[in-house]
Amino acid sequence: MDFKKEIAQKISLLTDMELEKVLDLIETPPQKNMGDYAFPCFQLAKVMRKAPNMIAAELAAKVQPDNVVEKAEPAGGYLNFFINKGEYIKEIIYEVLAQGEQFGSSDMGKDKNVVVEFSSPNIAKPFHVGHLYTTVIGNAIEKIYKHLGYNTIKMNHLGDWGTQFGKLISAYKRWGDEAVIEKDPINELLKIYVKFHEEAEKDPALEDEARNYFKKLEDSDPEAVALWQKFRDLSLKEFMELYKKLNISFDSFAGESFYSDKMGEVVEILKEKNLLKDSNGAKIVDLEQFNIPPCMILKSDGATIYATRDLATALYRKRTYDFYKNVYVVGGTQSLHFQQIFSTLGLMGFEWHKDCIHVSTSLVKFADKKLSTRKGDVIFAKDVVNEAIHKTLEVIDIKNANLENKEEVAKMVGIGALLYAFLKNSRDKDVIFTWEDTLSFEGESGPYVQYTYVRGKSILRRAGQVAETADYSFLQSDDEFQLVKLLGGFKDALKEAADRYEPFVVTRHITEIAKAYNKIYNSHPILNAEANVKNARLHLTKAVCTVIYTGLKLVGIETPESM
């Protein structure tokens, strides 16, 4: 039973307002003592030409107590509903236990395709913490959409094309040492790439050589293609190690190179629609009407660029996946780029440009100076991941030295802790990272939430066999009702997270569940309670574990059984 919907139905019957509209209007009261749902009467007041508080009072008198509501009270222009606690607790726990990990799932996304592009690192360049941010957020968004029934397509738009590959080929041929590069590919390729720029300052002929190599690459010259392929394979191998650790997979690695032969069409359409303008020999699309700088399509030497490839990418995705939404999880520094792409698609006449969404992430900052930075200011994601695992193992060695499968637990907890730091706040906030907060077992942290699950599981283990059924009317305390309300609110949290492309809504919600459960753990006996109470609390414990496990999984965090 969906209590919110049942209440909406009552209101709809009493007021003749459409059910959907009522559902939209229903709010959560700001304070617990004001009930569980509130219906604002201000819209009705306009239609009925009556004061909202009068309407609220009249409606309240008409609501009869039943298995859905205990009572309804007018409060100013609001009608506050107090749900039937006993029924609610019964319904929710029953539903969680019956559905297990499927709890909160939906068919709202049935037959709708959602492309989620995330991570998208660049070949032969560092996979830095900024990429880690979009990787974590994109992975969570995809999982949440999937849980809501959408068909998701996970795309990794690798940066594997562009003039820089001409430079890299030239650098490799001059200074590349195959054995050294095989060992530590990205670092070494980066080194020779940097060297190329230094040398090219002294000898500008190098630039011509690089341009030449890129031209060869574009013309499918076998040697150039083989080298490019080698760089791509080696880099991807390194990226895959990281994805494996993070337990992340993709459906497609069609990166920029994949679109290198699909840009002609874009240029044709732009020409046909008279959108291409000359600008010092280059071709651009004027976007002044949107108050943003023009989108460059062709450079003065006729070469296509990043933006041209993104236009071809969007066309390809629409054609191939007929997407309902095309989501780009990419750092906020590329906001303007995506505005230009989406506006240009609009000018090209593609109505679906409105379904393209740039989900932007902010910056990642490290308060700990200790963290090693290797090249300039860039912090490699793999270093942070490895350090998180390493530091967690140290903590486990102190706290729980006899733990079996220590390494595996350290991986789940260390990575979980790290991921949580990216998932706990909205995307418009910079991630300010400290090891102390991240690895803390208290307050708002990954280990805290994971530990709550572990605690619940340990209670269930100690209880031995848990009875099939329980009488939930023994869950009498307000603490328990508030916890069950949080469990019941999980679905709404998922929907809100999906609507806003904000996984933190889920992270926060399960953190609240963990806090509420720990409050009960600390102030009410569970294993030592009277038999009926104990049994009901064990069922509640099981439901809490299920929702925490599912919630963590949906944001991409694994949970150990003990830690």
Q: Which is nearer to ligand ARG, 159 or 416 (CB)?
A: 159
SS3 163: coil
**Footprint (CB under 6 A) of ligand ARG, residues 296-325:** 310, 313
Calpha distance 338→238 (Å, rounded): 28
**Footprint (CB under 6 A) of ligand ARG, residues 67-96:** none
Beta carbon of residue 279, minimum distance to ligand ARG (angstroms, whole number): 22
Distance of CA 19 to the CA centre of its chain: 31
Q: By CB under 6 A, is residue 122 in contact with ligand ARG?
A: yes
Q: Which is nearer to ligand ARG, 356 or 498 (CB)?
A: 356
Task: Give yes or no: 128 in active site.
Answer: yes
Contact 548, 449 (CB under 8 A): yes
Beta carbon of residue 140, minimum distance to ligand ARG (angstroms, whole number): 18
Beta carbon of residue 294, minimum distance to ligand ARG (angstroms, whole number): 18
SS3 359: strand
Query: Containing H/E element for 438?
Result: helix 435-439
Q: Which is nearer to ligand ARG, 75 or 296 (CB)?
A: 296
Q: Which stretch binds ligand ARG (CB under 6 A): 119-127, 163-171, 211-219, 273-281?
A: 119-127
Q: By CB under 6 A, is residue 159 in contact with ligand ARG?
A: yes
Residue 122 bridge partners (DSSP): 159
Q: Which is nearer to ligand ARG, 307 or 548 (CB)?
A: 307
Contact 513, 104 (CB under 8 A): no
Amino acid at 552: L
Residue nearest to ligand ARG (CB): 159
Contact 417, 438 (CB under 8 A): yes
Residue 283 bridge partners (DSSP): 278, 298
Active-site residue, from 128, 147, 485, 539: 128
Amino acid at 508: R
* Residues making up the chain, counted from first to last: 563
Amino acid at 203: D
Q: Which stretch binds ligand ARG (CB under 6 A): 118-126, 208-216, 267-275, 409-417?
A: 118-126
Cβ-count burial 7-28 (b if 16+ within 10 Å, e if not): bbebbbeebebeeeebbebbee
Task: Give yes or no: 390 in active site.
Answer: no
Active-site residue, from 71, 112, 125, 524: 125
Beta carbon of residue 67, minimum distance to ligand ARG (angstroms, whole number): 51
Distances (CA, A) of 456 to 320, 357, 459, 462, 542: 45, 39, 5, 10, 7
Calpha distance 24→59 (Å, rounded): 18
* Residue from the set 161, 323, 328, 472 that interacts with ligand ARG by CB under 6 A: 328
- First-to-last alpha carbon distance for the chain, in angstroms, is 36
Site string for ligand ARG, 261-300 (x = CB under 6 A): ----------------------------------------
Beta carbon of residue 376, minimum distance to ligand ARG (angstroms, whole number): 16
Q: Which is nearer to ligand ARG, 52 or 162 (CB)?
A: 162
Beta strands in 175-321 (DSSP E): 276-279, 282-285, 295-298
Distance of CA 251 to the CA centre of its chain: 17
Site string for ligand ARG, 209-248 (x = CB under 6 A): ----------------------------------------
Calpha distance 366→132 (Å, rounded): 14
* Residue from the set 15, 120, 139, 450 that interacts with ligand ARG by CB under 6 A: 120
Q: Which is nearer to ligand ARG, 287 or 356 (CB)?
A: 356
Under DSSP, the state recorded for 472 is: G
Number of residues that bind ligand ARG (CB under 6 A): 10
Beta carbon of residue 424, minimum distance to ligand ARG (angstroms, whole number): 24
Active-site residue, from 10, 85, 90, 131: 131
Phi, then psi, of 277 in degrees rounded to 5: -120, 150
Q: By CB under 6 A, is residue 382 in contact with ligand ARG?
A: no
Calpha distance 132→290 (Å, rounded): 32
* Residue from the set 298, 330, 364, 510 that interacts with ligand ARG by CB under 6 A: 330
Tell me whether residue 523 is exposed, middle or buried, using C-beta atoms within 10 angstroms of its C-beta: 0 to 12, 13 to 18, 19 or more: exposed
Q: Which is nearer to ligand ARG, 91 or 160 (CB)?
A: 160
Beta carbon of residue 328, minimum distance to ligand ARG (angstroms, whole number): 5
Catalytic positions, written as ranges? 125, 128, 131
Summarize as ranges the residues that interact with ligand ARG (CB under 6 A).
117, 120-122, 157, 159, 310, 313, 328, 330
